[in-house]
Copies of this chain bind each other. A is one copy, B any other.
Amino acid sequence: MDLKKVLQENIDHLSSIGNDPTGGMTRLLYSDSWLEAQKSVKETLEAIGMTASFDEIGNLFGRVEGTEHPEETILSGSHIDTVVNGGNLDGQFGVIAAYVAIQYLLETHGKPKRSLEVISMAEEEGSRFPTVFWGSKNFVGEAKKEDVIEIADFEGLKFVEEMQRHGFDFRDESKAARDDIKAFVEIHIEQGTVLEKEQLQIGVVNNIAGQRRYTIVLKGEANHAGTTPMGYRKDAVYAFAKICSQAIDRALEVGDPLVLTFGKVEPKPNTVNVVPGEVLFTMDCRHTDSGELHAFTQEIEQLMKDIAAQHGLEIDIDLWMDEAPVPMNEEIVTAIETAAKAENMKYKVMHSGAGHDSQIIAPNFPTAMIFVPSINGISHNPAEATDIDDLVNGVKVLASTLYELAYK
């Protein structure tokens, strides 16, 4: 089997569904192109000898029964949805890699001892409706009807009606989640530049960083830039600048894996000749250790309050996202490392700074992730790309990992 050829053909075919005339791919949950893509994956799964079926909400599964321990399932996959004008790897590469790896294993080694499954999850991106991880949360039994019953997309189309239009509906919340999953392995593009910069082929992900996101408003006094002496000012941008520079200086001292970003800055009135009376800004902080994340953000919250007080400004600090880090399963991480070594790959054990379905699944089932390099770290963009040889390397390591878990 020509892995490279099969992989490329599958990517090309699936990318043609939801190809967006305004750029890249747009395949939003419960849209027509989304259903077409899931159905196309279902046909492919069946073509390579798997039984395929949807769950109630539209997650797609392909299954090969294990010959010795059919009640133990080794699962791989990712999500089928994209952001608006997204790339053709984020999500679907993890689905395609899973079934191409299993196709390769079936052709090379025959039936597995444990059952092998592919999952093509309904939704991860949160790009159409104000909900996220709808696929994985249903899979692990955490999604709640009440969270989506009222929501609609930007055009006013209701979540429930769009779901039901394709023949899907809410899962039975009284039914227990599956207990046969012994491992979940998700392969994904890195969406960063670490592997590329360090010239590595594989990332073995042992943790998904926790993140805390804040919106902060500093209130001072808008004044005439010419007639207000420095000593009479309450300059909100000056205070922001002190906070941002001192906080990032401190983050650099603390070092990896801590990251700190002040991504949005909106002064008022935002005019050349007025001392800014107010500034709204965001802070995004991530770390793989919950204690470190809390300690650092608390230190910075205090720094912000101190600087605001020194400048006579009011400050309002709103922590609106607080997600704990999710450690991956050590045994699965070891299995991936073993596979990477067996395939002679240059790899590193690393964390993911971005969120993934694996963070929902990991607390429920043994989980780990494989990263392949992203060219220039670009993602959520039509320019998202990975060298085909790197994609093949990823599939090889995934296949070798699944062999380790399902055939031994």
Contact = CB atoms under 8 A, between A and B. Distances in A.
B191 A261 contact: no
Nearest to A257: B229
Q: How large is the interface on A (under 10, 10 to 19, 20 to 34, 35 or more residues)?
A: 35 or more
A273 B215 CA distance: 12
A275 interface: yes
Contacts of A211: 226
Interface string A345-384: 0000000111100000000000000000000010100000
B226 A237 contact: no
B238 A209 contact: no
A258 interface: yes
A341 interface: no
Interface string A46-70: 0000000000000000000000000
B263 A273 contact: yes
Nearest to A266: B270
Quick one: copies of this chain in the complex? 2
A261 B225 contact: yes
A252 interface: yes
B248 A245 contact: no
Interface stretch (A98-106, A192-200, A326-334): A192-200
Nearest to A262: B237
Contact of A263 (B229, B267, B379): B267
Interface centre among A237, A243, A256, A266 (most CB of B within 10 A): A237
B244 A237 contact: yes
17 contacts: A192-B226, A192-B229, A193-B223, A223-B377, A226-B259, A226-B286, A226-B353, A226-B354, A229-B257, A237-B244, A237-B262, A238-B244, A241-B242, A241-B248, A261-B272, A264-B271, A265-B265
Interface of A: 190-194, 197, 209, 211, 213, 215, 223-232, 235, 237-238, 240-245, 248, 251-252, 255-267, 270-276, 279, 282, 284, 286, 352-355, 377, 379
Given A191-B227, A230-B248, A263-B276, 17 more contacts: A194-B232, A215-B272, A224-B377, A226-B259, A226-B352, A226-B355, A228-B377, A230-B258, A235-B248, A241-B248, A241-B262, A261-B272, A261-B273, A262-B276, A263-B270, A263-B271, A266-B270
